[in-house]
Amino acid sequence: MHFTPDSDGPTTEPEGFCASGDAAAASVSPDEIARFGAIAREWWDPTGPMRPLHAMNPLRIGWIDRHLPLRSKKQSPLTVLDLGCGAGLASEALAKAGHDVLGMDASAEGINAARRHIEDNPLPTGSGSLAYRVGSAEALVSEGVTFDAVVALEIIEHVTDPAAFMIMLAQLVKPRGHIFVSTMNRTPRAFAFAKVGAEYIMRLLPIGTHEWRKFVTPSELGSYGRHAGLRLDDIAGMTPALLGKSWKESRDLGVNYIAAFSRE
């Protein structure tokens, strides 16, 4: 499987792929799509509304890459699905790490911004391939497409049914494949920092970005994974450092955390 970026989507796609967008599906909230689509043009501004993700991204991608199997130069790159990719912040970083990446999001505005950015900033030599598609997880499941790894970063707290979402992630990964989920814990501290502090006090995120009641606790995420037939391999906290300009891995799962699952 090999992807190449262009303004119209993949030029070479796995069997069953179509370039057109898919209808909104059960995992997709129209309100959430509209909210993030409205800021798509500012997604790549490191000082804009997505600046916390810019600061967090090196930690997320480094942690994911460390948990993926090593590949020799004779082996083909790992195929990675970045689901809920927004404007492609993680997708580009994963491709630069040498993986063949498909970034998928239900927001056409986000995908258009992702395509524009990669056109203006081509991947360096040695990168994997990168393509984008507007659509939903349900569409890929119905097509029977699977990947070596599936990445869902800061997305599960925005879907309509997180348990069903984890089942879909399991259906999208190959046997012995890997799934990575990052989200926020439903704790009073997360409410104070991620909701009140980030949105209302420090204005790091647009107001309304998060709904605290939809945050997912580590025990809930582990339970969703088990019911989806997945094994929880590792989990780590993500903590701001240097006034939020960078993030570090920690044992503190009280606010932001990332988890690695594998399929038997």
Binding positions for S-adenosyl-L-methionine = 60, 84, 105, 153
Residues 91, 64: contact at Cβ < 8 Å?
Answer: no
Would you say 124 and 97 are in contact if contact means Cβ atoms under 8 Å apart? no
Structure tokens at 22: 């898919």
Is residue 223 within a helix (H) or strand (E), and if so which, with residue range?
Answer: helix 218-227
Dmax (CA) for the chain in angstroms is 51
CA distance 198 to 155: 17
Let me know the angle formed at the C-alpha of 36 by 33 and 37, rounded to the nearest 5 degrees.
75
How far CA 81 is from CA of 100, 180, 197, 212, in Å, comes to 9, 10, 32, 27
Place of tokens 């699952």: 261
Q: Which residues are annotated as a binding site?
A: 60, 84, 105, 153
Residue type, 110: G
